[in-house]
Structure 1
Amino acid sequence: MPSRILARPERGRPPGGPILGAVTPPTMSPRRLRTPRIAPGLARAGALLLGAAAVIAAVASLLGWPHRDRGPRPQPPSPAAVQPDAGVEHPALARLRAHSREFEPALINVVGGVHVAIGEGLANSILIEGTDGAIVVDTMESAEAATKVLALFRGVTDKPVRTIVYTHFHPDHTFGASVFAEGRPVEVIAHRRTDALLDEVMDVVSPTIYPRSMRQFGTHLPPAAVPNAGIGPRLDYVEGRNRIALLRPTRTFAESLDLEVAGVRLELRHAPGETEDQLFVWLPESRVLLPADNLYRSFPNLYAIRGTPYRDVRRWIASLDAMRALRPAHLVPSHTRPISGEAEVMRVLTDYRDAIQYVHDQTIRWMNAGLTPDEIVERVTLPPHLAASPWLAQHYGRVDWSVRAIHAGQVGWFDGDAARLFPVPPQERARLLQALAGSGRSLAEEAGRALAAGELQWAAEMADAALRLAPGDAALRGIKARALTAMAGRQESANARNYLLTAAGELSGEIAIARRDPSKLPLEQLHAFPIDGFMRGLTVRLRAEEALETERTIGFEFTDLGRHWTLIVRRGVAEVREGRTEQADARLAVSAMRWKEIAAGLRGLPAALATGEARLEGSPVALISTLRLFRE
Structure 2
Amino acid sequence: MIPTPLPPDRDYGVSDRRIRAGRAMCQTPKDATPATVAVNREAVTRYAMDDRQDFVDADRGLIAPLPGNVLGDDGHVVFDPEALAYIGDDVPAPDTVNPSLWRQSQVIRRGGLYQVTDRLYQVRNNDIANLTVVEGDEGLIIIDCMAGVESARQGMKMIREHISDKPVAAIIYTHTHIDHYGGVKGIIDVEDVASGKVPIIAPGTIASFDKFAIGENVVAGNAMARRSFYAFGGLLDLGPKGAVSCGIGVLSTKGPQISYISPTDGITETGTKREIAGLEFEFLYAPDTEAPEEMHIWIPELAALTCAENANHSLHNIQTLRGARTRDARNFARYLDETLERWGDDAAVHYGPHTWPVWGNENLVGFIESQRDTYKYIHDQALRLANKGYTPLEAAEVIELPEELGRKWHNRGYHGTLHHDVRAVYTKELGMWDGDPVTLHPHPPVESAKRFVDLLGAQKILDEGKRAFDAADYRWAAEILHKLVFAQPENTEAKNLQADVYEQMGYQAEGPQWRGIYLSAALELREGSQPPPYITASEDSVLAMPIDILFDFVAVHLIGDKATDVDLHIDFVFTDHDDETWTAWVRRGVLNARRGAASNTQLTVSGPKAALIGALLQPGAAAELAKAGKISLTGDESALETLGGLLDTFDPSFNIVTP
Fold conserved (TM > 0.5)?
yes
> Residues 80 and 99 (structure 1 numbering): CA distance in 2 closer, same or farther, change over 3 Å?
farther
Aligned 8 A contact 1:363 1:403 in 2 = yes
Tell me the distance in 2 between the aligned counterparts of 1:231 and 1:369.
35
Post-superposition shift, 1:82? Answer: 4.2
Pairing 1:317–2:333 present: yes
Q: Distance in 2 between matches of 1:245 and 1:438?
A: 52
| Contact preservation (8 Å) 2:329, 2:378 | no
Residue 94 of structure 1 and its aligned partner are, at CA, apart by: 2.6
Alpha carbons 1:145, 1:236 under 8 Å: kept: no
What does residue 169 of structure 2 align with?
162
1:24 match: none
Q: Does 1:187 align with 2:203?
A: no
Aligned residues: 378
The structure-2 alpha-carbon separation of the partners of 1:250 and 1:360, relative to structure 1 and needing over 3 Å to count, comes to: same
CA distance in 1, matches of 2:437, 2:293: 38
- How many Å separate the matches in 2 of 1:228 and 1:174? 21
In structure 1, the partner of 2:243 is: 226
Tell whether the 8 Å contact from 1:271 to 1:319 is kept in structure 2 after alignment.
yes
Deviations 1:557-594 (A, max 9, x none): xxxxxxxxxxxxxxxxxxxxxxxxxxxxxxxxxxxxxx
Q: Secondary structure at the match of 1:252?
A: strand
State the secondary structure of the residue aligned to 2:201.
Answer: strand
Deviation at 1:78, TM superposition (A): 7.4
Seen in structure 2, the aligned counterparts of structure 1 residues 170 and 348 have a Cα distance that, compared at 3 Å, is same
Report the alpha carbon displacement of residue 419 of structure 1 after superposing the two structures with TM: 2.6
Which of 205, 209, 212 pairs up with 1:197? Answer: 212
User: 2:224 touches 2:323 (CA, 8 Å); kept in 1?
Assistant: yes
Q: Are 1:76 and 1:220, in contact at CA under 8 Å, matched by a contact in 2?
A: no
1:533-612, aligned counterparts within 5 Å?
A: none
For 1:344-393, what per-residue CA distance to the aligned partner results, in whole angstroms no more than 9, with x for missing partners? 01111011111111111000000001111121112211111111001011
Show the counterpart of 2:439. Answer: 420
Q: Given the alignment, which residue of 245, 262, 282 partners 2:259?
A: 245
Aligned-partner Cα distance in 1 for 2:407–2:96: 15
Runs (5+) with no aligned partner, structure 1: 1-49, 442-632
Choose from 208, 223, 230 the match for 1:208: 223
- In the other structure, the counterpart of 2:106 is 101
Structure 1 residues 166 and 278: CA distance shift in structure 2, 3 A: same
Task: Please tell me whether Structure 1 or Structure 2 has the larger radius of gyration of its CA atoms.
Answer: 1
Q: Give yes or no for the alignment of 1:335 onto 2:341.
A: no
Query: What is the alpha-carbon distance in structure 1 between the residues aligned to residue 164 and residue 26 of structure 2?
Result: 43
| 2:402 counterpart letter in structure 1 | P
Instruction: Give 2:268's aligned residue.
Output: 254
Q: Does 1:348 align with 2:353?
A: no
Q: Any conservation in 2 of the 1:80–1:86 contact (CA below 8 Å)?
A: no
Secondary structure at the counterpart of residue 223 of structure 1? coil
Counterpart of 2:121 in structure 1 is 115
- Partners of 2:29 and 2:177 in 1: CA distance: 29
CA contact (8 A) 1:169 1:197 kept: yes
Match of 1:376 in 2: 395
> 1-side partners of 2:96 and 2:29: how far apart?
18
Match runs of 1:65-144 below 5 Å: 73-74=20-21, 81-82=28-29, 85=32, 89-90=94-95, 93-103=98-108, 104-144=110-150
Q: State the shift of 1:255 in Å.
A: 1.8
Take 2:449 and 2:216, find their aligned partners in 1: how far apart are those partners? 36
Q: CA deviation at 1:196?
A: 1.9
Q: SS of the counterpart of 1:208?
A: helix
Q: Structure 1 residues 100 and 79 mapped into 2: Cα distance closer, same or farther (>3 Å)?
A: farther
CA contact (8 A) 1:76 1:221 kept: no
Deviation per CA, 1:391-413: give whole Å up to 9, x if none.
Answer: 01112110110111111111112
Instruction: Please say if residues 288 and 330 of structure 1, whose CA atoms lie closer than 8 Å, have aligned partners that are also in contact.
Output: yes
Q: Write out per-residue CA displacement over residues 302-340 of structure 1, whole angstroms, 9 at most, x where no aligned residue.
A: 121011111112222111112212112100011010011
Match of 2:293 in 1: 277
The amino acid across from 1:106 in the alignment is G
Q: 1:408 aligns with which of 427, 433, 439?
A: 427
Alpha-carbon shift at residue 246 of structure 1 (Å): 2.3
Whole-Å Cα distance in 2 between the matches of residues 286 and 126 of structure 1?
A: 14
The one of 316, 321, 324 equivalent to 1:308 is: 324
Task: Give the 3-state SS of the residue equivalent to 1:289 in structure 2.
Answer: strand
The normalised TM-score by structure 1 is 0.56
- Partners of 2:133 and 2:176 in 1: CA distance: 19
Distance in structure 1 (CA, Å) of the matches to 2:130 and 2:113: 10
Question: Among the aligned pairs, what percent are the same residue?
Answer: 28
Please report how far the alpha carbon of residue 258 of structure 1 lies from its aligned counterpart in structure 2 after TM superposition.
0.3
CA displacement at 1:421 relative to structure 2: 2.1
Q: Is the 8 A contact 1:77 1:221 kept in 2?
A: no
* 1:489-531 Cα distance to aligned partner (Å, 9 max, x none): xxxxxxxxxxxxxxxxxxxxxxxxxxxxxxxxxxxxxxxxxxx
Assess if the C-alpha contact under 8 Å between 1:106 and 1:119 holds in 2. yes
Contact kept, 8 Å, 2:310 with 2:332, in 1: the verdict is: yes
Distance 2:293 2:198 in 1: 21
Checking the alignment, whether the CA contact within 8 Å between 1:317 and 1:357 is kept in structure 2 is yes
Is 1:178 matched with 2:185?
yes
Change in Cα spacing, 1:427 to 1:276, as seen in structure 2 (3 Å) is closer
Distance 1:181 1:422, change over 3 A: closer
Quick one: distance in 2 between partners of 1:274 and 1:249? 19
What letter is aligned with 1:278? Answer: E
Distance 1:436 1:347 in 2: 56
Measured on the aligned residues, the alpha-carbon RMSD in Å equals 3.0
Rounded Cα–Cα distance in structure 1 between residues aligned with 2:23 and 2:153: 29
Secondary structure of 1:109's aligned partner: strand
- Secondary structure of the residue aligned to 1:285 is helix
Counterpart selection for 1:430 from 443, 449, 458: 449
**Any conservation in 2 of the 1:217–1:235 contact (CA below 8 Å)?**
no
Q: Decide which moves more: 210-219 or 182-191.
A: 182-191
Question: 8 Å contact 1:232–1:336 — kept in the other structure?
Answer: yes
Other-structure match for 1:388: 407
Unmatched 5+ residue regions in structure 2?
38-93, 461-659
Distance 1:277 1:91 in 2: 38
C-alpha separation between the residues in 2 aligned to 1:91 and 1:202? 33
Equivalent-residue separation in structure 2 for 1:359 and 1:152 (angstroms): 41
Cα 1:78/1:247, change in 2 over 3 Å: farther
Is the contact made by 1:127 and 1:135 (CA closer than 8 Å) also made in structure 2?
yes
Question: Taking structure 1 as reference, are residues 248 and 237 closer, same or farther at Cα in structure 2, changes over 3 Å only?
Answer: farther
Conserved? CA contact 1:230–1:298, under 8 Å: yes
CA deviation string 1:423-455 (max 9, x = no partner)? 2332343233334436999xxxxxxxxxxxxxx
| Counterpart position of 2:511 | none
The letter of the residue matching 2:202 is: A
Between the aligned partners of 1:302 and 1:83, the Cα distance in structure 2 is 33
Question: What's the CA shift string for 1:230-264, capped at 9, x where partnerless?
Answer: 110126351xxx32332221111212430111111
Q: Is the 8 A contact 2:303 2:349 kept in 1?
A: yes
Deviations 1:164-203 (A, max 9, x none): 0000121111011122226744111112221222331465
User: Could you tell which deviates more after superposition, 133-142 or 322-331?
Assistant: 322-331
How high is the TM-score relative to the length of structure 2?
0.54
Cα separation, 1, equivalents of 2:420 and 2:393 = 11
Are the counterparts in 2 of residues 140 and 172 from structure 1 also a CA contact under 8 Å? Answer: yes
For structure 1, which segment, 259-268 or 428-437, has the greater mean C-alpha deviation from structure 2 after superposition?
A: 428-437
Secondary structure of the corresponding residue to residue 214 of structure 2: helix
Distance 2:310 2:25 in 1: 36
SS of equivalent to 2:170: strand
Q: Which amino acid aligns with 1:223?
A: L
Whether the aligned pair in 2 keeps the contact of 1:229 and 1:235 (CA below 8 Å) is no
